[in-house]
Structure 1
Amino acid sequence: MYTEAELRALEALQGESTVSGLAEELDRSRSYVSELVTRMESKGLVHTSREGKQKRINRSDARAIELFDSFVQQYTHIPFPELLGGATLRILYYLQSPASATQLAEQVGVHRSTVHRSLSPLENRGMIYKSDGKYTLNDDFKELSTVAREFAHLRHRHRIEDHTESFTILWESLDDCLVQTRAEIKADAFLLTGPELFQAYDLPLMARQRRYYLYSETVEEVSPAELCCHMLVVDDGTRSQSYCLLLLSEAAIDRDEVLQAAQKYEVDEQVSNLLEYLDTEGESRSGRLPRWEEFRDLADEYGVAV
């Protein structure tokens, strides 16, 4: 997420500075710090401005940096940049509750040895302990997981701000996020989803002048299972759930795939209700689902077999 060098510079950057001033503070060359500041700006950690020939550097006012500062100031004897650089912040993102090295490795996408190597220095300082084979943050350092999540949120916001000024993040994970905006985003990592994508399955659904994108550097296309979950994140009203029912029927989505996606996007209950509704032909119906006769009429209208 962030390197030790970037976090060291962030720690050293108290108030406005220049490349020369920061280079002196870090005891590094001006050219090294100039490249470092460019990387930090690309990640949303700082912003710069020109004043004559001088480049003025200021830190971002993001909550992630405020939380990072609170730990640095409270525990001056702990070298947080050294401890949190590299993969450590990514791992801490998933340490809101106790987790084993295997669980953390799967969630972050690293080897178990990387988890052990990254968390060992924190364990040695008593910031983390193991219980029943699971890593757990000590009470005084539980907010480190929040710091990690806020840094990930900062990265998401900065990426999106490169393409649109007005947006809302509806859901996010360590590396991906679901975005609502009125602007069209054509960048490769932003995949169209939500109401507009239903048209690909001959299920036209009004988008109400809003566009929805999944930001992901690993996903190549939004699957029907993910589309269903995205729609429920966007709006879980009767109309949206009816169209999700049509999609589940039309695309013949694998049950395990949609349940796995539902867990990822935290819409487990809604998806389980949809599947049970279809299995029982409407006999099991939650409050927001249509009567079976109404849904069957809608399915006939679109030529979807139910």
Structure 2
Amino acid sequence: MLTEGEVRALTALRGEQTVSELAANLDQSLSYTSELVEQLETSGLVETRRQGKTKQIRLSDAKALELLAALTQQYSHIDWPELLSGAALRVCYFLDTPQTVTDLARHTDVHRSTVHRALSPLQHRGIVYQTDNGAYTLNDGFEQLSAFARELAHHVHRQTVEKQTDTYTILWESLDEFLVQTTTEITEEHFIPTGPDQFQRYGLPLLARDRRYYLYSESTSELSPEILCCHMLVIDSGARAQSYCLLLLSHTSIDRDDLRAQATKYGVDDVVDDLCTYLDTSGDQRTSRLPEWDDFQELAAEYEVTP
């Protein structure tokens, strides 16, 4: 997320400075510091302006930087740039709740040994501790470390989508992925179309809308019906959307284990459990947002789906 050099530059930058002044504060060469500034400007974390022949640098108004400043001021004795380099920030992203090393390795997509290396200095300085059941969690007073990591990821996501459109809403996000709503068509390769209009891929043509939905992911190339169902519920968990998801679950070959894993990832596990129970019991067990079984059968017949 950030290199040690980038964190050092962000924590050393106070008010406006020239590249030369920042280089002196960092005890680094002018060329190295210029590269750092360019990287941070590209990521929207610093702003620059020309004043004569010199370039003035200052921090941007990104909320993540407010959290970083509060953290470094409150615990000024800690060498934060060293601690937050490598995979440490990726690990901290998920420490808003207790997590085992296995959980953290899965969430961050890094090896368990890398997670251990990230946690070890944090544990040594009393920032994290291990619970009796083996999970790691942040000590009291350091909760803002996870908040900083999350806000930094959110900032990166915003920077990514704003290269494509000015009008958008991020509906869901994790460390490396996000689900976005916009009125703009996005053709960049890592933005994968999703939402209601993608149901037609499974023979379920839903009413088109002006709004478009995309999953940004560098690791996913195609949406499974399990993922599409969860996206639909993130976009809209109302009665109509749930009925459409019932059609999708009835019409396609669904891996229930994968569906539940995706539902947990997207935070719609309770709704997905309700949908599965509804189908398994032919509507005998249903929530208020699910249709009477006869009504659902009529809807399914319209789409030539057999519940």
Pairwise same-fold verdict (TM > 0.5) = yes
- State the shift of 1:233 in Å: 0.4
Q: How does 1:1-306 map to 2 (within 5 A)?
A: 1-51=1-51, 53-132=53-132, 133-306=134-307
Q: Distance in 2 between matches of 1:236 and 1:187?
A: 28
Q: Distance in 1 between matches of 2:208 and 2:80?
A: 45
Q: Distance in 1 between matches of 2:206 and 2:50?
A: 47
Supply the AA of the counterpart residue of 2:156: R
Q: Distance in 1 between matches of 2:17 and 2:206?
A: 51
- State the shift of 1:100 in Å: 2.0
- State the shift of 1:268 in Å: 0.6
Q: Distance in 2 between matches of 1:210 and 1:101?
A: 39
- State the shift of 1:234 in Å: 0.4
TM superposition score normalised by structure 1: 0.95
Report Cα offsets for 1:144-169 as digits up to 9, x if no partner.
Answer: 11111111111111111111111111
Look up the SS of the partner of 1:136 in the other structure.
Answer: strand
Contact 2:197 2:205 (8 Å CA) reproduced: yes
Q: Distance in 2 between matches of 1:275 and 1:55?
A: 60
Count the aligned residue pairs: 306
Structure 1 residues 205, 48: CA separation in 2 closer, same or farther (over 3 Å shift)? farther
- State the shift of 1:205 in Å: 2.1
Contact 2:6 2:36 (8 Å CA) reproduced: yes
Unaligned runs of 5+ in 1: none
Q: Distance in 2 between matches of 1:207 and 1:52?
A: 54
- State the shift of 1:19 in Å: 2.3
Q: Distance in 1 between matches of 2:221 and 2:122?
A: 36
Unaligned runs of 5+ in 2: none
Q: Distance in 1 between matches of 2:136 and 2:301?
A: 53
Q: Distance in 1 between matches of 2:51 and 2:304?
A: 64
With 15-24 and 259-268 compared, the bigger mean Cα shift is at 15-24
Q: Distance in 2 between matches of 1:7 and 1:291?
A: 56
Q: Distance in 2 between matches of 1:89 and 1:244?
A: 36
With 25-34 and 3-12 compared, the bigger mean Cα shift is at 25-34
**Identical aligned pairs, as a percentage?**
58
Supply the AA of the counterpart residue of 2:175: L
Q: Distance in 2 between matches of 1:119 and 1:257?
A: 30
Q: Distance in 1 between matches of 2:249 and 2:50?
A: 54
Q: Distance in 2 between matches of 1:281 and 1:2?
A: 51
Q: Distance in 1 between matches of 2:31 and 2:207?
A: 52
Supply the AA of the counterpart residue of 1:126: G
- State the shift of 1:129 in Å: 1.9
- State the shift of 1:52 in Å: 5.0
Q: Distance in 2 between matches of 1:221 and 1:49?
A: 42
Report Cα offsets for 1:173-199 as digits up to 9, x if no partner.
Answer: 111111011111111111000012112
Contact 2:71 2:144 (8 Å CA) reproduced: no
Supply the AA of the counterpart residue of 2:5: A
Look up the SS of the partner of 2:56 in the other structure.
Answer: strand
Report Cα offsets for 1:1-26 as digits up to 9, x if no partner.
Answer: 11110000001111223322322221
- State the shift of 1:51 in Å: 4.5
Supply the AA of the counterpart residue of 2:143: K
